[in-house]
Amino acid sequence: MTRKIRSWIYSLSFVGVVAAGVVTASGAAGDSAHGSLALTFLWIAVILLAAKLGGLVEKFGQPAVLGELVIGVILGNLVLLGIHTFEPILEDGIIKFLAELGVVILLFQIGLESNVRQMKEVGMSAFLVAIIGVVLPFVLGTYVVGPWFMPGLEPAAYLFLGAALTATSVGITARVFKDLKKLHIPEAQIVLGAAVIDDVLGLVILAVVSAIVTVGAVSLGMIGWILAKAILFLVGSIVLGQLLAPWLGKMFAKIQTGIGMKFTLAVIVCLVFAYLAQVIGLAAIVGAFAAGLILDPVHFRYFKDPHVVRDIKKAMKDAHAKNITIKEVEDAIEHHSERHIEDLIEPLAYFLVPIFFVLTGMEVSLAALFDGRVILVALAISVVAILGKLVAGAVAGKGVNKWMIGIGMVPRGEVGLIFASIGKGLGVISDELFSVIVIMVIVTTLVTPPILNVMLKKHKV
């Protein structure tokens, strides 16, 4: 037996063990409370396994998030083939909570990757691209393609469609530039800057739109108040955060200086802000983003990571470099070896974020697509989504490749999905419209990497 065959047999037997678990699970409905907790363990394992299998799309140059969505769509639509095994996942309240927590953690991460100083440095170019890239798709979605292609829906549904068209996914765009080592070119800088501004504008729009739906407010004064509240919350958290965060870090460091404290402090701030945002009528993710924005690594300089330092010291010893400049090297390494707060949050995100995307995929009803009209509408809206961002790219300053900037802004990614799922949660977005938005996200996410890939490889630096 060759090694290769044996390795496949082993792998298949693992999948078999999981499958056996799933079969046992589906036969054990109506379990005791304790048993159902264990069942939730199994469903989480199934979701994570599915997400990782979806990650195979990376082999074809596609972002992992796309694979997670697609595998979710497959799992959720196995009912069309008469397979009801995975239906309980959608009814599990705990998994729903974990998905919600996942998206909060994701926006916290995006906030952590941005920071206030960086946002100030973003030039006029990025600002213009961001504004046009938000306003144009929003107006087109809400007042043109929405009412044209899907007439008869309530106005709030069009608002959510427009909102879902505004966001740019920082993650996907940054990933493509990074993978090709082109993060430093001006086009990349403008796209990233604009994407960060887009995030903030998108979240403000989300807050306004959500509030309009919840409170039913459409008066200008009301919109103004919501807008003011959203901006006040963001600006307020940033100002308060800038004042508070350093002292907070110092105080907590007096209890413990380990990375456990660093991590826990960050999570506490994230959760409290998510809660407060919800209390004052904004989405929890707005709070999580604000929390990430104000937590700058510098506030965590009191916390050290003993693991890395230990490993490196051992490595230094092994390197037989003992008597040569070792002190210098050691000092410098010690300075750089603190584990960043982003790195600490990452495992939590690995655990929770895929649950959100796979679950979002599972909520897509392929049955809705048997209607040729829905597919046409989805494609039309995707075209609008792409055109809106290409026009935005055209307002970028001189001396840069405007097409590249436009294409870089196209992927809607996670933020668009978050809008759709909040709209669905509020009962504003129908299954049909939800499917249309998800298809738009899939299309915009799918077309960007290959096109950008070709453009960047032509690009000479």
Site for a second copy in 413-432 (CB under 8 A): 425
Please report whether residue 183 would count as binding a second copy according to CB under 8 A. Answer: no
Structure token digits, residue 60? 């074809």
Q: Is the dihedral of CA 62, 66, 71, 77 positive or negative?
A: negative
CB of 28 to a second copy, least distance (A): 8
Number of residues in contact with a second copy, rule: CB under 8 A? 96
Please report whether residue 2 would count as binding a second copy according to CB under 8 A. Answer: no
Structure token digits, residue 460? 């000479």
Taking CB under 8 A as the criterion, the residue among 158, 233, 252, 357 binding a second copy is 252
Structure token digits, residue 309? 């330092």
**Binding range to a second copy, per CB under 8 A, among 128-136, 241-249, 294-302, 453-461:** 241-249
Q: How far apart are CA 219 and CA 264, in angstroms?
A: 42
Closest to a second copy by CB, 332 or 383 = 332
Strands (E) in 114-253, as ranges, are none
- Pick out residues in 96-155 that bind a second copy (CB under 8 A): 97, 100-101, 104
Per-residue x/- track, 44-73, a second copy (CB under 8 A)? xx--xx-xxx-xx-xx----x---------
CB of 412 to a second copy, least distance (A): 22
Contacts of 459 (CB under 8 A, 6+ apart): 182, 185, 401, 404
Of 293, 256, 291, whose CA–CA distance to 276 is shortest?
291
Using CA atoms, how far residue 51 sits from 67, 411, 421, in Å, is 7, 20, 19
Please report whether residue 242 would count as binding a second copy according to CB under 8 A. Answer: no
Closest to a second copy by CB, 104 or 136 = 104
Taking CB under 8 A as the criterion, the residue among 297, 350, 366, 370 binding a second copy is 350
Terminal Cα-to-Cα distance of the chain (whole angstroms): 51
- Pick out residues in 71-100 that bind a second copy (CB under 8 A): 93-94, 97, 100
Tell me the residue type at 455.
M
Taking CB under 8 A as the criterion, the residue among 218, 243, 376, 454 binding a second copy is 243
> What DSSP string runs through 26-66?
HH--S--HHHHHHHHHHHHHHHHHHHHHHGGGGGGT--HHH
Taking CB under 8 A as the criterion, the residue among 1, 13, 91, 398 binding a second copy is 13
Please report whether residue 263 would count as binding a second copy according to CB under 8 A. Answer: yes
DSSP 8-state class, residue 340 = P
Strands (E) in 46-184, as ranges, are none
Please report whether residue 180 would count as binding a second copy according to CB under 8 A. Answer: no
Gyration radius (Cα) of the chain, Å = 24
Per-residue x/- track, 201-240, a second copy (CB under 8 A)? ----------------------------------------
Using CA atoms, how far residue 136 sits from 130, 266, 394, 398, in Å, is 10, 36, 13, 21
Helix (H, G, I), strand (E, B) or coil at 388: helix
Please report whether residue 320 would count as binding a second copy according to CB under 8 A. Answer: yes
Please report whether residue 321 would count as binding a second copy according to CB under 8 A. Answer: yes
Closest to a second copy by CB, 340 or 457 = 340
Closest to a second copy by CB, 65 or 201 = 65
Closest to a second copy by CB, 183 or 324 = 324
Please report whether residue 42 would count as binding a second copy according to CB under 8 A. Answer: yes
